[in-house]
Amino acid sequence: MSENESDQKYDAILITLVFLVIGLAILALTKHVVKIDGDTVFVALLLLPLLIYLAITGNLKEVNIGLISARLMKKSAKEIKDNINEIGKYEEKRSTYLGKLDQILKKESEFSLIYADVDDLRQYSRKRFRKEKSSAKRLKENEIRKQTIDKLDFALADAFCECEIKDANGKDAKYDIFQLIEPDIVMIARDTDLKQAELIKQKAEENFENFLSDKEKEFDGLNVTISFISKAKDEMKGATPRSLDKEAHKGHNRLKEARKRKDT
Read out DSSP for 173-221? P-EEEEE-SSSSEEEEEET--HHHHHHHHHHHHHHHHHHS-HHHHTSTT
pTM: 0.65
CB 244 within 8 A of CB 237: no
- At residue 63, the pLDDT reads 47
- At residue 220, the pLDDT reads 67
- At residue 21, the pLDDT reads 64
Peptide bond into 241 cis (omega under 30): no
- The structural domains of the chain, ordered by start, are 3-71 (no CATH), 79-263 (3.30.70.270)
Give how far Cα 253 sits from Cα of 42, 186, 226, Å. Answer: 30, 14, 10
State the Cα–Cα distance between residues 191 and 231, nearest whole angstrom. 10
- At residue 202, the pLDDT reads 96
Which residues have C-beta within 8 Å of that of residue 263, sequence separation ≥ 6?
none
State the Cα–Cα distance between residues 102 and 123, nearest whole angstrom. 35
CB 78 within 8 A of CB 194: no
- At residue 166, the pLDDT reads 93
- At residue 83, the pLDDT reads 47
State the Cα–Cα distance between residues 106 and 210, nearest whole angstrom. 37
CB 65 within 8 A of CB 41: no
DSSP-based three-state secondary structure for 70:
strand
- At residue 49, the pLDDT reads 55
State the Cα–Cα distance between residues 187 and 99, nearest whole angstrom. 13
Which residues have C-beta within 8 Å of that of residue 110, sequence separation ≥ 6?
190, 191, 192, 193, 230, 231, 232, 233
Q: What is the mean pLDDT of each run of 10 residues along the chain (264 residues)?
A: 50 58 60 50 53 51 46 47 48 84 89 94 88 79 92 97 93 94 92 95 95 82 90 85 92 89 75
CB 121 within 8 A of CB 145: yes
Q: Is the Cα torsion angle 84, 102, 193, 190 positive or negative in sign? A: negative
- At residue 236, the pLDDT reads 83
